[in-house]
Chain A
Amino acid sequence: MVYTQEHTGKKSRKKGGCRGCLKFGLWCVLIVFLLSGIAAALVFRVPQRLGILPSATKRVFTQTPDRAGAKKVLAEARAAGLNTQGISLYVFPVGDGTKSIALATIDERKGFSFGQTAGLDPMAHVMTKLMAGPTVTEIGVERVGVHYIGENGAQFGSFTASADSIRAVAAGRMTKEQFISAVDGDVNIPAMLKYQLDALTKLQ
């Protein structure tokens, strides 16, 4: 009797086994790809960008801004020497409403100028002045954010620091470099590029 491959269960099982290995391998690769894709999507905030999940802004700033508090904070910053022309300030209660986050938009087109910054970098200067008065403590400001719109109307960057680090740099307990490390933010690189290129073009 001649045994062909069809009759030998061993051989065909072996062949099937290899196919199984290949399938298993492909599934593994697919799962790894899928998991990597999901991880990347979460890191890069794709669901929030697509509107599937609410963004951090929508999750955190759910309450009506404390406009009266913001008015007082801005008046106190002005009294402390900050040029408040071109600055709009909103104070958002967060959590149970006893803490808040102050967000300033600085618009250079509306007449804002840093003026004398007393050796501090521009963000530290603005943030320390915004935290200068007693109202920030009364309304529980725990963080300050600054959004800077340049002379060409582009939003150049957004920076934020905790109230503790702002107080520390104001009191000299933190160096300029340590403060920069404590600042979180986002830079609009295309806007910066355009500004730099325009400046270079003007020079030529």
Chain B
Amino acid sequence: MKRSILTFIGVALLALPLAACEKSDTDVVVDFMQSWMKDKGILDADGKPTLQAGIVATGFGTTGDDRVDAAVQAGTMLQSLHKADKLVDEAGDAMMGRPRDSDLALNKMNAAIDMRPDDWSYLNRRGVVHMENGNKKAAQADFAAAITTCNGSQACIDRVNKDREAVGWDVFGPSL
């Protein structure tokens, strides 16, 4: 109860106009959010919080449309994706370095694939690392696994093949 009261007092503060003379980009976004919250009935016309503010404060709720919900709730997933992509970039750096460190590259790729096992672009890249190491069997297994993640979707298979050409020739040198 105490927490809800504090939340409501806090939300009331949001209704205060930003006092800073020069608005930062965050201020601009906060202004937008206030307009949006008024439009959605989270704040009333005077900028006071409505009951709906309590629900919004909990971070729960749904629009009833899966794709809209997914787009709104994707923040955490995107952060995890950034981390995995960073590992892949580091693997690329290890492969492009002089001397080339393919063990480090492989470790980074394994860690990225652990985070996103169904990401065919990672499987493609690890396949290329295996190829560079002369491990054709492992490379072929990764390339096959990349196609398997498409579940038969031709659009996906086309993208996998296109990506494989790109990583083979552009990222790690002409290996395929």
Using a CB–CB cutoff of 8 Å, the interface residues on chain A facing chain B are 43-45, 49, 55-68, 88, 90, 93-94, 96-98, 101, 103, 105, 108, 112-114, 121-123, 142-145, 147-148, 150-152, 155-160, 177, 180-181, 183-190, 192-193, 195-197, 199-200, 203
Question: Which of B36, B77, B155 makes the CB contact (< 8 A) with A98?
Answer: B155
Taking A192-B33, A193-B10 as contacts, is the C-beta distance between A143 and B67 under 8 angstroms? yes
Number of interface residues of B (CB under 8 A): 60
Least Cβ–Cβ distance between B162 and chain A, in angstroms: 7
Please state if A57 and B70 are interface contacts (CB–CB under 8 Å).
yes
What are 13 sample pairs from A and B whose C-beta atoms fall under 8 A apart?
A43-B60, A43-B61, A44-B61, A62-B118, A112-B25, A144-B71, A160-B72, A187-B42, A187-B56, A190-B57, A196-B14, A200-B19, A203-B19
Is B99 close to A, CB under 8 A? no
Least Cβ–Cβ distance between B169 and chain A, in angstroms: 14
Is B132 close to A, CB under 8 A? no
Helix, strand, loop or mixed for chain B's interface? helix
Is B59 close to A, CB under 8 A? yes
Please state if A64 and B119 are interface contacts (CB–CB under 8 Å).
yes
Is B5 close to A, CB under 8 A? no
Least Cβ–Cβ distance between B49 and chain A, in angstroms: 9
B49-88 near A? 1/0 per residue, CB < 8 Å: 0000101111111110011111111111110011000000
Question: Which of B61, B119, B155 makes the CB contact (< 8 A) with A96?
Answer: B155
